[in-house]
Amino acid sequence: MTTDLNAAMGRNDVELGKPANAAERDTLGTILGLCFGIPEADLRALLEAQDMDPLVVLRHGGEVVGGLILIDMGQHFGGRSVPMCGVAAVGIAPERRGEGFGRALVRGSVAYMASRGAVLSALYPATVPLYRSGGYELAGQRFEHELPLDSWTQRSGELSVRPGTTDDYAEMERAQSAAAREHDGTLDRGDYIWQRVRSPRGDTSRHYLVEGSDGLGAYLSLRQPKRTDGHIGYDLVLTDLVVREHEAGQRLLAFLSTHASLAGKVTLHGAAHPELLGLLSEWRPSSRLFMPWMNRVLDLPAVLRARGYAPGLSAEVSLRLNDDLCDAHTGNWILRVADGVAQVEPGGNGEIELSERGAAAVFGGFSTPRAAARQGLLHGPPESLDRLGALFAGNGPWMMEMF
């Protein structure tokens, strides 16, 4: 593994590490506030709520010129949670841009995460080429759907809706975890993400629950920003939505429809075709790809062992990975899958040769191996590519949350 951060960054005039003190942490808050147009006080409060461990600063001449936040959580693939380090709020001081510090920060952070034992990383890119320089590749999507409420005609049924409180958080978390495992790319949330879901950008979400036949049948969290179409009233923005039973989901939709006299639309994020749309009897959604996200494989054998695979599927593939930034996993690996579990060991003839970007594109099912080969991310015999594709076939990786 490359542990020399300066070698990873490609320059010896910078230093990467945790903030040395509160003053450096506050400087990072100022920089990130300027980068993202968020009040400096809000960014500083966010950073003060963290210990120094998740914060990374880049120094030049002893001066903090940029940094980012690392978030330990998990990401579901094949029904299992893979440990994942999220990268958030990457920024360089405006007056120091164009000097190569962004590339140094990204590449250095990859080596830094690997040295801490991280096996997978994910982020939302403000610019794709910068993160590709650190070995990240597009690996999933986050869609935004806006649904006018005037087209909803939902029946209530016999179930009741009740407001949720902090006493319901544990049950909500269990329901969300069970639902998220069914979909590739979804987050195995930690405290940081739950806080963003419940208190998005300083706002407060309200929660509504419907009991099912066996525990919580469905719940949603929402906020009510003012309408942006010039009319009096508000819109409904869902910051969380979990449906475990059909009737409970229908009841939540009926609850949302009762806001139609003042609310203009419902906005939700997630899959290209979320389950909510299938429950509606009529809808006129306006949908768009809000943002793609990227993965970076830091330890290929660990990632392949951690994820799940389709039951009943058995296959063996020999891989050769090339990664000039994280050299501990560079080399030949034999991947054997049986009964939903992978065994990975060194060796094999490397029938499929792939880059770290190729690994990120295909292991979660975002790109087929044949498509990745056409992009120059891997190459191998067609029959071997198809075997690899069968192992990673899924339902299209997506996320609901930003981080």
Q: Domains of the chain by range and CATH?
A: 5-135 (3.40.630.30), 143-292 (3.40.630.30), 299-392 (3.30.1050.10)
Could you report the per-residue pLDDT of 78-113, keeping only the tens digit for each?
999 999 999 999 999 999 999 999 999 999 999 999
Q: What is the DSSP letter of 123?
A: E
What Cα–Cα distance (Å) separates residue 295 from each residue in 85, 188, 330?
Answer: 10, 15, 17
Whether 1 has a pLDDT exceeding 60, the answer reads no
Residue type for 177, please? S
Beta bridge partners of 220: 208, 241
Q: Are 88 and 402 in contact (CB under 8 A)?
A: no
Q: Is 77 helix (H, G, I), strand (E, B) or coil?
A: strand
40 contacts 30 by C-beta, under 8 angstroms: yes
- pLDDT for the residue numbered 2: 45
d(CA 109, CA 24) in angstroms, rounded, equals: 17
Angle value at C-alpha 41, between 37 and 44, nearest 5 degrees? 95
- 3-state DSSP percent of the chain in helix, strand and coil, to 5: 35, 35, 35
C-alpha closest to that of 5 among 20, 18, 16, 13: 16
Residue indicated by tokens 């899958």: 337
pLDDT digits 0-9 by tens, 166-222: 999 999 999 999 999 999 999 999 999 999 999 987 789 999 999 999 899 999 999
| DSSP assignment of 308-355 | ---TT--EEEEEEEE-SS-GGG-EEEEEEEETTEEEEEE-S--SEEEE
pLDDT(40) > 90: no
Residue 132 has pLDDT above 90, yes or no: yes
Q: What pLDDT shows up at residue 298? A: 98
Q: Poorest-confidence range of 107-121, 144-158, 213-227, 386-400?
A: 144-158
Q: What pLDDT does 281 receive?
A: 81
Q: List Cβ neighbours of 206 (8 Å cut-off, separation of 6 or more).
A: 163, 164, 221, 222, 223, 224
Q: Is 370 helix (H, G, I), strand (E, B) or coil?
A: helix
Give the per-residue pLDDT at 228.
Answer: 87
- Token reading at 277: 């749309």
CA separation (Å) from 228 to 234, 291, 297? 8, 21, 41
Hey, is 153 helix, strand or coil? Answer: coil
Mean pLDDT across the chain? 94
Residue, of 277 and 83, whose pLDDT is higher: 83
Which stretch, 154-163, 191-200, 296-305, has highest mean pLDDT?
Answer: 296-305
Under 8 Å between Cβ of 184 and 365:
yes
pLDDT of residue 3: 60
Give yes or no for residue 294 having a pLDDT over 50: yes
- Count the Cβ atoms, other than its own, within 10 Å of residue 187: 22
What are the C-alpha distances in Å from 270 to residues 16, 86, 399? 34, 17, 5
- Token pair belonging to 137: 């590749």
CB contact at 8 A, 320 and 353: yes
- pLDDT tens column, 69-79: 999 999 999 99
Cβ–Cβ under 8 Å, residues 137 and 355: no
For residue range 341-364, list pLDDT tens digits in order: 999 999 999 999 999 999 999 999
Between 383 and 50, name the one with better pLDDT: 383
DSSP string, 22-75: HHHHHHHHHHHHHHHT--HHHHHHHHHTS-STTEEEEEETTEEEEEEEEEEEEE
pTM, two decimal places = 0.94
| pLDDT above 80: residue 154 | no
How many percent of the chain have pLDDT more than 90? 86
